[in-house]
Amino acid sequence: MSAIDHRFRALTAALDQAFQVLDHNPALAERRAREILKSAPNTPQATLILGAARRRSGDAAGARAVLAPLAKAQPNAASVHYELGVTLAALGKADKAGEALRRATALKPDMQEAWRALGDQLFLLGDAAGADAAYLEHVRCSAKDPILIQAARAAHDGRIDVARRLLQEHLRRVPTQIAAMRLLADVESRLGRDADAETLLAGCLERAPGFLDARRSRAVILQRLQKHEEALAEIQILVARDPHDAGHRVLLASALGAFGEDDRAVEIYEGVLREHPDQSDVWLHYGIALKTAGRANDAVAAYNRCIALSPGLGEAYWRLADLKTAPFSADQEAAMRSQLTNSECSIEDRLHLQFGLGRAREEARDYAAAFDHYAEGAKLRRGQLDYSAEKNTAHVQRSIDLFTPAFFAQRRGGGADSIAPIFVVGLPRSGSTLVEQILASHSAVEGTRELTEIAAIARTLGGNSATLDSAAYLARLAALNGAERAALGDRYIERTRRYRALDRTRFIDKMPNNFQHIGLIEMILPQARIIDVRRHPMATGFAAFKQHFSRGQAYTYDLTELGLFYRDYVTLMRHFDTILPGRIHRVIYEDLIDDTETQVRRLLEYCHLPFEATCLRFHENERAVRTASSEQVRRPIFREGLDQWRHFEPWLGPLADALGETRTNWR
């Protein structure tokens, strides 16, 4: 080897060593760059490392002194112009930074970090269109980013926590990388943290309004959060951009369905399917819309068509099972089992298939196998969710400590004076949909849906954290004056008006978990009626455990957590019964089944409504029903399901143990 070759290899090795430590030890990188420059004074790479190290050490002015001459000497070096651009940005020289970064992107069009930095500077300069274009180029280039590829692969493989950690660490280093924000939003959503996901996507769109993937994702998440007005606004932007795009029209149909415009939604789905008859996802959503509209047979046909097109789409099987209109055939059950053996079957499809097979085996009275399938589906779903039983119990105890007779006595006279809302609370699968259907069959009452406005007000009071900050929420609630309470009550009435299509004086909000916010309801809507629907805890618990909820109810996928949640619920409701006697009307599901007319008359009397016989013929009501009990409430009262849980009693020990004395003392 010649002396020149030896010196070249030594120089290359020294440069590599300096580059390797640049990000995590810039002081060491600077020392190594200086050592190189002593022996090789005109080495551009060493000069670049020196300038980059100074910037990373906080000496932006010193970095500029090194990089500005280097950029003149190296006019075609994209990395030099990029480093000069971010250095000028650190000095607050946005105009000059933009010039350098434009030069970098012109020299190297796939340099994603330069496009991102250019977007940041244009955003600061108020050039919204320029920033949008730069960020979109950044997104295009990010497809090759090794960190994003690694995170996306982890998310696809079900290693959600790994994906989340990678993306959070990446965004701590590069907080405006909107491609990473978009991917993290997807991860947060899969963990059930839709509020966090929505915040991330809003940040993406603030900087890059043309980032249509982010806008589509935000529209979907806003719908999940039941912020339907905001979701519709996003969808209208998408439709205006491309009115013929099938995906945009499907989103529009979904949004219209949320407002009860089911006929329009079905019409849109049918139009899309005429043009794209092989789109399995559209058949799935079409089936959901048909089910909501009460067209069960048509929904079955739509789900079957979906399965024919995509045999591995687990949700289609689950939706078919959830209709409860007919048992699975042997061929259908075999097809589900076959899909579970497919190594390409995703966790999402797998958990839906497990719940579907559980329903199939239960209908076949093979209860041991049914429970195994339910338990496996629940385990898969629980692994995707962020839930703490301890935090729920702590919230209940804080509520009990705060809400006393003296607390409410000191706050008499505040809140909105509307008598319109009727809150139906409790736990899912307790019979609340039946009570809603009975009330909605009265000429003065409109059934809406499970509204999230009370929970949204609670989050606002708690500082808008993604998950409710219980302590902050209750402290702020206690500090509200009468005018503030009235304003919040009026806000609730105004924001729920969109869901009231009929000109009726009363309406139902059937969000079960509003039982956690009875103190809030009492303070802002003191004239509202509150109905607590309760069912035997073992029956409620198992019915919830075997149900795959589209969103929410994170505690239902573990029997112990289910029992603890039910116990917390009863504890809190007993407290309100004590401090606000007679304020809450309780409907025991079993009593409603045994003596329907008596219980309906008491219910209507509590709501200050005259008795109407149509309430006993609730199954004739053709209103749209969106919950898991939609098909049951279209039938007359039946007793078959009351003791269904007893077939599974041998496996429900953790539920019974967690319930403790509440198992018998629950009424």
The band of 200, judged by pLDDT with boundaries at 50, 70 and 90, is very high
Asked if residue 408 and residue 380 are part of one domain, the reply reads no
Co-location of 530 and 460 in the same domain:
yes
More confident residue, 314 or 9: 314
Question: pLDDT exceeding 90 applies to what percent of the chain?
Answer: 52
Average pLDDT over residues 274-279: 90
Residue 628 vs residue 197, higher pLDDT: 197
Asked if residue 380 and residue 498 are part of one domain, the reply reads no
Are 403 and 536 part of one and the same domain?
Answer: yes
Q: Say which residues have a Cβ less than 8 Å from residue 583's Cβ, sequence separation at least 6.
A: 522, 530, 576
> Bigger pLDDT: 60 or 119?
60
In this predicted structure, the answer to whether residue 630 has a pLDDT above a threshold of 60 is no
Ordered DSSP codes for 287-328: HHHHHHTT-HHHHHHHHHHHHHH-TT-HHHHHHHHHH-SSPP
374 and 404 together in one domain: no
Residue 627 has pLDDT above 70, yes or no: no
- What is the C-alpha to C-alpha distance for residues 534 and 439, in angstroms, rounded to an integer? 16
More reliable by pLDDT, 292 or 305: 305
514-540 average pLDDT score? 97
- Res. 153 pLDDT band, cuts 50 70 90: confident
Are 400 and 365 in a shared domain?
A: no
Q: Are residues 510 and 601 in the same domain?
A: yes
Q: What is the CATH number of the domain that holds 547?
A: 3.40.50.300
Verify that 355 and 468 share a domain, yes or no.
no
- Classify residue 428: in a domain, yes or no: yes
Query: Which phi and psi angles does 244 have, rounded to 5°?
Result: -95, -5
Is 503 among the domain residues?
A: yes
Burial 155-177 (b: 16+ CB within 10 A, else e): beebebebbbebbeebbeebebb
* Segments forming the whole domain that contains residue 359: 328-384
Examine residue 352 and state whether it is found in any structural domain, yes or no.
yes
Instruction: Indicate the average pLDDT of the chain.
Output: 88
Are 370 and 430 part of one and the same domain?
Answer: no
pLDDT-derived band of residue 635, with 50, 70 and 90 as boundaries? Answer: low
Higher pLDDT, 123 or 565: 565
Cβ-count burial of 303 within 10 angstroms (0-12 exposed, 13-18 middle, 19+ buried)?
buried
Confidence band (pLDDT; 50, 70, 90) for 213?
Answer: confident
Poorest-pLDDT segment among 131-140, 154-163, 226-235, 626-635: 626-635
pLDDT at residue 539, as a whole number: 96
Rounded mean pLDDT of 169-181? Answer: 88
Indicate whether 189 belongs to any domain: no
Q: Are residues 401 and 481 in the same domain?
A: yes
Tell me the CA distances in angstroms from 112 to 100, 142, 661, one per residue in order. Answer: 15, 6, 60
pLDDT of residue 467: 67
Do residues 364 and 457 share a domain?
no
Cα atoms in the Cβ-side hemisphere of radius 13 Å centred on 123? 21
pLDDT surpassing 50 at residue 626: no
Among 362, 384, 406, identify where a domain stops: 384
Domain total in the chain: 2
87 within a domain of the structure (yes/no) = no
Do 401 and 473 sit in the same domain of this protein? yes
Q: Confirm whether 490 is domain-assigned.
A: yes
Task: With respect to residue 531, please indicate whether it lies within any of the assigned structural domains.
Answer: yes
258 pLDDT band (50/70/90 cuts)?
A: confident
pLDDT at position 70 over 70: yes
Domain boundary residue among 384, 405, 432? 384
Residue range 328-367, pLDDT digits in tens: 999 999 999 999 999 889 999 999 999 999 999 999 999 9
Among 340, 360, 384, the domain-final residue is 384
